[in-house]
Amino acid sequence: MNNQYFLRNLIAKPEFGPFVLLALEIAIFTAINPNFLSPQNISNTLAFTVELGLIALAMTLLMTAGEFDLSVGSVFGFAPVLMWTLFNSEIMPLGLAFFVALLVASLIGMANAWFVARLKIPSFLVTLGMLLVVRGTALFVTDGFPQRTWSAGGSFLADILVGSFNIGPFRIYMSLFWFVLAVLVLGYVLNRTKAGNWIQAAGGNPGAARARGVGVEKTKVALFMLSATLAGFSGIISSIRTSAANPNSGTGYELEVIAMVVIGGTALTGGRGTIIGTVLGIFILRTMRNGIIMVGVPGLAYNIFIGAIILGMMALHSWLERRHQAGT
């Protein structure tokens, strides 16, 4: 009886479906191509996965509070462009340029929040507009050309952001450390803290939250700033690792990140979010991208699989939600 109760509870959890899907993906890809689980492939996949993952983690909190941020991809491209422009023009040292770029990213988040919280414009429209403004600025400032980044090699900043080391046969980048740290901190904030309670309340029923004295607007401002700052941070990490700060980089990331979050089980309508689910969502999509290439499916077919996964997972989450509402 107890076992049955445990099993039902386990299946009802939003993370259960994504977990099964990820396990299936890994099993199928490994069965077709054993190299899929090779240390080299895992190391390569992890390097970029965690960079995109940082944005998805912040987006989880924002979406739990009932908002979106479509400008993250453009901030991902803009922040490194700004940092390298400031540094290469000898306006300031690299460390200071790093902080200025993050500060500007957070101000972009604050501007998003101002339109959403103060002017009551839907975040979908606000951040769509901001996407164009930020991307356009990056292209204008650089004339559309990538910035030089080779002078980062050996600097302290490069070491702590993307330094790599080997653990056995695995090559691990420092970005994995930042990702794990973000998972722990944001997971703790969402599930264990007063701020997490406010985030869920702001998305679940903002009217009720306001009536209880919860600072719904302040909470959203903080989350928009977090989202943009982590997008900028992630873009800078990526630019140093790949030695390229391209004003066009990050194009389309916003949709991939939102897909990762909803596949993981965070409610699109707000009020309920899961960091563990997002971690699973991140790995589901990146494993799929890597796996279909490894097993010989043309890369151009990638979007077919991603679309199918999103539809399938949405159907599953909706079914679980209905069961939950019915109390079964």
Partner 1 sequence: MAEELIRMENIGKFYGRVQALKDVNLVVNRREIVGLLGDNGAGKSTLIKVLSGAVPASSGDIYISGRKVKMKSTNDAIANGIETIYQDSALVPQLSIARNLFLGREPTIGPAILGRLDTAKMNEVSRELLKQVGISKNIPPDTPIGMLSGGERQAVAIARAMHFDSELIILDEPTNNLGVAETRGVLNFVRRARDTDHACILIAHNIHHVFQVVDRIVVMRHGQVVADNIDPKVTSVDEVERIITGMEEEALL
CA nearest to 128, candidates 169, 41, 69, 79: 69
C-alpha distance from residue 190 to each of 60, 261, 309 (Å): 9, 14, 26
Q: What is the DSSP letter of 145?
A: P
Residue 213 has a CB neighbour count (10 Å cut-off) of 6
The one-letter amino acid at 314: M
Contact 17, 266 (CB under 8 A): no
Separation between Cα atoms, residue 73 and residue 301, nearest integer Å: 22
Would you mind telling me the total number of residues written for the chain in this entry?
328
Q: Is 46 in the site for partner 1 (CB under 8 A)?
A: no
Q: Is 271 in the site for partner 1 (CB under 8 A)?
A: yes
Query: By C-beta, is 58 or 83 nearer to partner 1?
Result: 58
**Least distance from C-beta 209 to partner 1, angstroms?**
7
C-alpha distance from residue 185 to each of 46, 59, 108, 193 (Å): 20, 14, 23, 11
Tokens encoding 83: 């940092």
Separation between Cα atoms, residue 176 and residue 54, nearest integer Å: 10
Binding mask 86-125 for partner 1 (x = CB under 8 A): ----------------------------------------
SS3 assignment, position 164: strand
Q: Is 320 in the site for partner 1 (CB under 8 A)?
A: no
Query: By C-beta, is 140 or 188 nearer to partner 1?
Result: 188
Q: Is 207 in the site for partner 1 (CB under 8 A)?
A: yes
Binding mask 164-193 for partner 1 (x = CB under 8 A): ----------------------------xx
Binding test (CB under 8 A) with partner 1, winner from 37, 132, 208, 311: 208
Q: How many residues bind partner 1 (CB under 8 A)?
A: 25
Segment lying near partner 1 (by CB under 8 A), choices 98-106, 128-136, 157-165, 197-205: 197-205
Binding test (CB under 8 A) with partner 1, winner from 83, 113, 209, 309: 209
Binding test (CB under 8 A) with partner 1, winner from 97, 231, 267, 306: 267
Query: By C-beta, is 152 or 267 nearer to partner 1?
Result: 267
Query: By C-beta, is 152 or 216 nearer to partner 1?
Result: 216
- Dihedral pair phi/psi, residue 72, rounded to 5°: -60, -40
Separation between Cα atoms, residue 134 and residue 247, nearest integer Å: 10
Q: Is 217 in the site for partner 1 (CB under 8 A)?
A: no
**Least distance from C-beta 271 to partner 1, angstroms?**
4
The one-letter amino acid at 260: M
Binding test (CB under 8 A) with partner 1, winner from 61, 214, 276, 294: 214
Give the footprint of partner 1 on this chain (CB under 8 A): 192-197, 200-201, 203-205, 207-214, 267, 271-272, 324-325, 327
